[in-house]
Amino acid sequence: MTPADLVVLELSSFQLQMLAKSPHVGVLLNIRPNHLDVHASLEEYVEAKKNVIRFQVPGDVAVLNADDPSAAACAGLGGGRAAFFSRRREVAEGAFLRDHRVVVRWEGREEAAGPVDEIPLPGAHNVENVLAAVTIAAACGVPAARAWPVVRRFTGVEHRLEAVRELNGVRYINDSIATAPDRTAAALDSFDAPIVLIAGGYDKKIPYDELGLKIAERVRVLILLGQTAPKIREAVERAAAGAGPGGPDVLPARDLGEAVHLAASLAMPGEVVLLSPASASYDMFTDYRERGRRFKELVQALTPA
């Protein structure tokens, strides 16, 4: 790397906790519970995340999610200027939606980037990711007209709502990167079809109550494995009981292989089999990548009916 290069880094709370300097452009997509198996408290985790903008100086930019109250409240934390992105309202500086189009407002100028339906990534959360990305681009001197063709070409990366295969009218989706409940909730909102969800894994001591409500609402069959299986089941059963009769069928699996074969036997044409664990992978795999690749191997080995 040279001083002229721009570097984009996703920093974990563990890395941020050690920082005493913030990047020129710091980004907070959201602040939600995570890694509570390692951090002493939720407060410690949140304070670590804030370090991405805490030490900014004049001339720096803090890009914040205006729709996430905890992230938006960090405006003014450091010395940088705040820019926002929002799906729900216009912002003074940053990116927002107007008439189903992405609009960038920067340094007194406004530019329409492109229509939302040109974003190839599924889910409302990916619209937010695009809004954040074009705001970051503007902060780095890249106009929306140059950023948008890249948005249109970007179809995603491995393990993030990755389409694996369609077999017997069923779509198989690898979302192994979903190591926390909020990521799985976003994945569930990305599909209109009925879902057979494979979830569970290593326990990061995160609550599953909100995800339980989302699963009870969106999932037809829930297949659980790993350390967090009992916690997820309890959250779903509480949510289903509160909503009255119904809720998903909940089934256990010893391992991922059994889960995939069970899902394949239960999924009906037009449905989605989704691996979105809402948990880390360390109880069964080295990391989420190994888990996702094993899922893909198992799915590719399935035979047509």
Expressed as residue numbers, the domain containing 290 is 162-300
Token output for 165: 């295969």
Q: Please tell me the distance from the alpha carbon of residue 137 to that of residue 144, in angstroms, as a whole number.
A: 8
In a domain, 8, yes or no: no
Confidence of residue 173 (pLDDT cuts 50, 70, 90): very high
| CATH number, position 178 | 3.90.190.20
| CATH number, position 24 | 3.40.1190.10
In a domain, 44, yes or no: yes
Q: If you average pLDDT over residues 119-144, what whole number do you get?
A: 95
Residue 243: the pLDDT is: 64
Residue 96: the pLDDT is: 98
Domains: count for the chain: 2
Of 153, 187, 222, the one marking the end of a domain is: 153
Residue 36: the pLDDT is: 67
- Alpha-carbon torsion angle 259, 264, 269, 273, nearest 10: 30
Of 129, 153, 177, the one marking the end of a domain is: 153
Q: What is the pLDDT of residues 81-91, one digit of tens each?
A: 999 999 999 99
Give percent of the chain above pLDDT 70: 98
Token output for 251: 């089934």
Mean pLDDT of the chain: 94
In a domain, 107, yes or no: yes
**Same domain flag for 39 and 131:** yes
The residue among 125 and 40 whose pLDDT is bigger is: 125
In a domain, 3, yes or no: no
Phi, psi (degrees; rounded to nearest 5) at 106: -145, 125
